Amino acid sequence: MRDEILSNLHDPGQLERLYRANKADFKQEFSSVYPQLSGNVLADFWHERLNYDSDAISWGSRKEFLFVAIAALVAGLLAKLPAIFPISEEVFYPRNSSFLVFPFLAAYFAWKNKLAVNQIAYLTGVIVVCLVYINSLPNTPVSDTLVLACIHLPLLLWVILGVSFAGDELSHYQKRLDFLRFNGDLAVMAALLVIAGGLMTGITLGLFSLIGFEIEEFYFEYVVAFGLPAVPIVATHLTQTNPQLVNKVSPVIAKLFSPLVLVMLVVYLGAIVFSGKDPYNDREFLLLFNVLLIGVMALIFFSVAESSTNEKPVSGTWVLLLLSIVTVVVNGIALSAISFRISEWGITPNRVAVLVGNLLMLVHLLLVTVMLYKTARQKAALTEVGRSIVLYIPVYFVWIVVVVFLFPLLFGFK
């Protein structure tokens, strides 16, 4: 997109077509290159146009709205399959919940990016293989490898979504960084929709209860069951057609929570010493420790993605650096804890998965920390931090494939 914008600066018609094809992507790319275009009449016009604050909400074209409506309806119908057919909910939802979201988002971007038929066929084939595979695994009552496959499968589908989002620009690190930024914007928009839906649910149930109608069962069976799968689809569409809705909120959230999480982590590490709990002998505590680690890493990556369009390092770079250092410490504690558990109680699928996962995250965090240090010392641009983040993602992809497809075979479906 960036190259197309630069090569068509003297073609207003082509710029308009690029904008209408992907408004969010056009705005992000144009904003990143505008500082070097200042003074160009057409560039100045587009800068004012893209940064004009409008209260109007765009629902996209009629075709886009119809696509979103049909996708949301189909996702809701798939979510109701256990109620329509004699399918066990305990078997269906752990294995298939991710297929209620990611394939539809991938289809949305494949359609928006006008992917070639062979690209769509490839993405569809991978999704179908994953669907058939996960539902073909033995339904063993206690199977760590099945649980690991179900946990890692959404991450695999998330990578497929990223491929669809990037389209023909998959090799460009900036496009991968845009995908991380999109995930942050999607989370913000989805949270707003869920909050609004929760308020509507409370008001609706309360009003009907006042007149003697108890509709809770019907409401949750049909309205909520269809509404929840529709949330990420509708949220995605809103972020793409109305980038102004979240492009100011997301950076605020990133800048606000980064220092707060840093303080929380430092206090939390100190409190562990006096709590009597430790991840070495408490399995549940180690699990929560790793969830905390992943959440903080996501915040760091999201903050970098939101700030990477600035030409100069933002004032929060030092905060991100300190947060990365503390997160490395947290990762080190988790890594030593899982190593201790393996040495004491032997190898299991869960322990191997956590051990390698922590090692990969530690290497990634160290790379990001080094680049943040260089940025804070003004020896590197913040965009280089973003590059170090996205270029490492394929490493996670390879490990996810191993856990999903090879672990059940290597450990005998245990």
pLDDT for the residue numbered 363: 94
Helices first, then strands: H and E counts in the chain: 20, 0
Question: Minimal CA–CA distance to 201: which of 185, 230, 222?
Answer: 222
Same domain (yes/no): 282, 399: yes
In a domain, 57, yes or no: no
Answer whether residue 215 shows pLDDT above 80. yes
pLDDT for the residue numbered 29: 77
Using DSSP's 3-state secondary structure scheme, residue 169 falls into helix
pLDDT digits (tens, 9 = 90+) for 146-177: 999 999 999 999 999 999 998 888 888 888 88
DSSP string, 213-254: ---HHHIIIIIIHHHHHHHHHHHHHHHHH-GGGTTTHHHHHH
Domains identified in the chain, total number: 3
Indicate the angle between helix axes 89-96 and 117-136, nearest 10 degrees.
140
Residues 111 and 61: beta-carbon distance below 8 Å: no
Same domain (yes/no): 12, 135: no
Query: Of 213, 244, 275, which residue sits at a domain end?
Result: 244
In a domain, 403, yes or no: yes
pLDDT for the residue numbered 404: 95
Query: Of 220, 244, 268, which residue sits at a domain end?
Result: 244
CA 295 to CA 290: how far, in whole Å? Answer: 9
Same domain (yes/no): 14, 36: yes
Phi/psi zone of residue 53: left (φ > 0), alpha (ψ -120 to 50 degrees), beta?
beta
In a domain, 237, yes or no: yes
Phi/psi zone of residue 99: left (φ > 0), alpha (ψ -120 to 50 degrees), beta?
alpha
pLDDT for the residue numbered 311: 47
Same domain (yes/no): 192, 105: yes
Question: Minimal CA–CA distance to 2: which of 173, 191, 241, 212?
Answer: 173
**Dihedral over Cα of 17, 21, 27, 29: its sign:** negative
314 pLDDT tier (thresholds 50, 70, 90): low
Same domain (yes/no): 191, 294: no
Q: Which domain holds residue 28?
A: 2-50
DSSP string, 175-220: HHHHHHHHHHHHHHHHHHHHHHHHHHHHHHHHHHHHTT---HHHII
Same domain (yes/no): 225, 107: yes
Same domain (yes/no): 212, 309: no
Using DSSP's 3-state secondary structure scheme, residue 311 falls into coil
349 pLDDT tier (thresholds 50, 70, 90): very high
Answer whether residue 53 shows pLDDT above 60. no
Answer whether residue 141 shows pLDDT above 90. no
Helical (H) or strand (E) element with 318: helix 317-345
Q: State mean pLDDT over 3-8.
A: 80
Same domain (yes/no): 85, 232: yes
Query: Of 209, 244, 279, which residue sits at a domain end?
Result: 244
Same domain (yes/no): 198, 336: no
pLDDT digits (tens, 9 = 90+) for 26-49: 877 787 777 777 677 787 788 777
Same domain (yes/no): 334, 193: no
Residues 153 and 357: beta-carbon distance below 8 Å: no
Amino acid at 247: N
pLDDT for the residue numbered 163: 94
Residue with tokens 């490493």: 395
In a domain, 344, yes or no: yes
Q: State mean pLDDT over 97-103.
A: 94
DSSP at 405: I
50 pLDDT tier (thresholds 50, 70, 90): confident
pLDDT digits (tens, 9 = 90+) for 252-306: 777 788 888 889 888 888 888 787 777 787 778 888 888 888 888 888 888 887 7
pLDDT for the residue numbered 353: 93
CA 245 to CA 29: how far, in whole Å? Answer: 17
Mean pLDDT is lowest, of 12-26, 180-194, 197-211, for 12-26
Same domain (yes/no): 222, 302: no
Q: State mean pLDDT over 203-216.
A: 90
pLDDT for the residue numbered 405: 94
In this prediction the pTM is 0.83
In a domain, 301, yes or no: yes
Question: Minimal CA–CA distance to 258: which of 366, 184, 341?
Answer: 184
Q: Which residue has the higher pLDDT, 33 or 240?
A: 240
In a domain, 170, yes or no: yes
In a domain, 55, yes or no: no
Answer whether residue 98 shows pLDDT above 90. yes
Q: State mean pLDDT over 248-252.
A: 72
State phi, psi for 281 to the nearest 5 degrees.
-120, -5
Same domain (yes/no): 27, 134: no
184 pLDDT tier (thresholds 50, 70, 90): confident
In a domain, 56, yes or no: no
Question: How crowded is residue 58: how many other Cβ atoms within 10 Å of its Cβ?
Answer: 16
Q: State mean pLDDT over 367-385.
A: 85
Q: State mean pLDDT over 37-64.
A: 73
